[in-house]
Structure 1
Amino acid sequence: MFSAKYRTIVFAFLMALFMSGFMSFVISIFNVGLVNNIISIWLTAWAFAFCVAFPTVIFVAPVVHKLTAKLVRP
Structure 2
Amino acid sequence: MIPARFAPVLFGFLLSGLMSFVVSGIATWRAAGLPEGFLGVWMGAWLSSWLVAFPTVLVVAPVVRRIVARVTFQPPAEDR
Q: TM-score range by the shorter chain?
A: over 0.9
SS at match of 1:2: coil
Which one has a bigger Cα radius of gyration?
2
Tell me the distance in 2 between the aligned counterparts of 1:35 and 1:71: 45
SS state of the match for residue 2, structure 2?
A: coil
The residue correspondences of 1:1-12 to structure 2 (distance < 5 A) are: 1-12=1-12
Deviation at 1:61, TM superposition (A): 0.3
Q: Distance in 2 between matches of 1:37 and 1:72?
A: 46
Offset, 1:29: 0.3
Are 2:65 and 1:65 aligned? yes
- For normalisation by structure 2, the TM-score amounts to 0.89
Task: Compute the displacement of 1:18 (Å).
Answer: 0.3
List gaps (5 residues or longer) in structure 1.
none
Q: Percentage identity across aligned positions?
A: 34
3-state SS in 2 of match to 1:53: helix
One-letter code aligned to 1:47: L
| Other structure's SS at 2:12 match | helix
| Structure-2 residue corresponding to 1:48 | 48
Runs of 4+ in 1 over 2 A off after TM superposition: none
Distance, in Å, in 1 between the alignment partners of 2:64 and 2:18 is: 18
TM-score by length of 1: 0.96
